[in-house]
Amino acid sequence: MTTRSPHYPVAVVGAGLGGLTLARVLHVNGAAAALFDLEPSPAARVQGGMLDIHDDSGQEALRAAALHEEFLRRVHPGGEATRVLDRQGTVWLAHEDDGTGGRPEIDRGDLRDLLLGSLPEDTVHWGAKVTDARPLGDGRHEVTLADGTAFTTDLLVGADGAWSRIRPLLSPARPAYTGVSFVEADLRDADLRHPASAAVVGGGMLFALGAGRGLLAHRETDGSLHVYAAVVAPEDWLDGIDFGDPEAARAAVLKEYDGWHESLRALVTDADGALVPRRIHALPVGHRWERVPGVTLLGDAAHLMSPFAGEGANLALLDGAELGLALAARPGDTEAALAAYEDRMFRRAEVSAAESARNTALLFRADSPQGLLDVFAGRPDQETQEAPACG
């Protein structure tokens, strides 16, 4: 006896910010989506990091999802403060958060919980790692999971991030290394245990910059400091560091910050727990594809970019919302909805990806932090008007 594979009218691979927003907007418009995520449960991974949610993108999406008021209740007061220092620790810019900015900060985990909690139970299939997807004709697809089971769908959405398993159905593009590697560190209970570092970082985001190096840090809602040691380095630089040996890893990272002020080096020296390596990749600026029936992408799967425009999460939210609205506005004409969604998404993503690439170059220039200071000063010779961010 053969068992038929389950069928879902709309299947979304990835329950990150973009996939969840799509499901939520469909839900408020009376439609359902099934989400599949490789994580074993919603609590499996700590969703750390702060995100500033922009008024014209991420917040627009939360309005479409009927979650904006709830979002405002969860923002982190004071989180929009910004400090720019050079490698000697000289403060070049210190903006306090006076509550008038258009980019309130929220903990990534809180935002994900807000979206998840707004969906009917069992919307997300956890522990569902997609390994393959193939077209069946007429816009339908069959999707295979790591446990060997499969399902079919009329509309397949790849919201599965940088290394999307769905992207090859639409595009041969692969993310390329941007030339920047991060080592992430945390200083816990900063006010009590690391007061000097807490003061250096301030209430929001710190950019301490020098040629080819940066220490970017952020105060989190739990009172810890999250630090990104950013190094312009060959792609294999991190391979040469033994992250299983915290002391050796710390020494290897600190070597990159020889000559930096001790108050800045302390952000690495005093880190609690393991250091975590991360290479920064991006898809080509202007990545797009020809319409393929019954399948599309959103968020990082469509337009992975470096975090230096602070737009990735905002775009994922807006993509999810706009795709949901496009589908709701054109019942029975999925292809027209996908074409309308992709047209706007491609144009929007190209602008942000170009900005993010420019910011990557600007942050690590030989005269750094001058490039960033010019952006904040709105110097006319600067092509970019958006201040970089990295939560």
Ligand X SMILES: Cc1cc2nc3c(=O)[nH]c(=O)nc-3n(C[C@H](O)[C@H](O)[C@H](O)COP(=O)(O)OP(=O)(O)OC[C@H]3O[C@@H](n4cnc5c(N)ncnc54)[C@H](O)[C@@H]3O)c2cc1C
| ω into 168 cis (within 30 of 0) | no
Our finding on whether 307 is near ligand X (CB under 6 A) is yes
Range in contact with ligand X (rule: CB under 6 A) among 149-157, 189-197, 303-311, 339-347: 303-311
H/E stretch holding 136: strand 130-137
108 is in an annotated binding site: yes
Query: Between residues 280 and 337, which has the closer beta carbon with respect to ligand X?
Result: 280
Binding mask 164-203 for ligand X (x = CB under 6 A): -x----------------x---------------------
Q: Give the number of C-alpha atoms closer than 13 A to the C-alpha of residue 381, restricted to the C-beta side.
A: 6
| 24 touches ligand X by CB under 6 A | no
State yes or no: residue 111 binds ligand X (CB under 6 A).
no
- The verdict on 36 binding ligand X (CB under 6 A) reads yes
| Structure tokens belonging to residue 52 | 């500033």
Q: Tell me the helix, strand and coil percentages in the chain, rounded to 5.
A: 35, 25, 40
What separation in angstroms does the CA of 177 have from each of 8, 55, 160, 304? Answer: 36, 30, 19, 11
- Binding string, residues 247-276; x marks residues near ligand X by CB under 6 A: ------------------------------
- 213, 263 contact by CB (below 8 A): no
Q: How far is the CB of 271 from ligand X (least distance, A)?
A: 16
Q: Tell whether 348 is in a known binding site.
A: no
Residues 152/136, Cβ–Cβ less than 8 Å: yes
**105 contacts 81 by C-beta, under 8 angstroms:** no
115: contact with ligand X by CB under 6 A = no
For the chain, counts of helices (H) and of strands (E): 12, 16
The amino acid sitting at 375 is: V
**Least Å from the CB of residue 275 to ligand X:** 14
Q: H/E element holding 181?
A: strand 176-187
Q: Which of 175, 203, 310, 388 binds ligand X (CB under 6 A)?
A: 310
* 188 annotated ligand-binding residue: no
Residue 219 known to bind ligand: no
Annotated binding site: 45, 52, 108, 300
Residues that bind ligand X (CB under 6 A): 13-19, 36-39, 51, 128-130, 159-161, 165, 182, 299-301, 307, 310-314, 316, 389-391
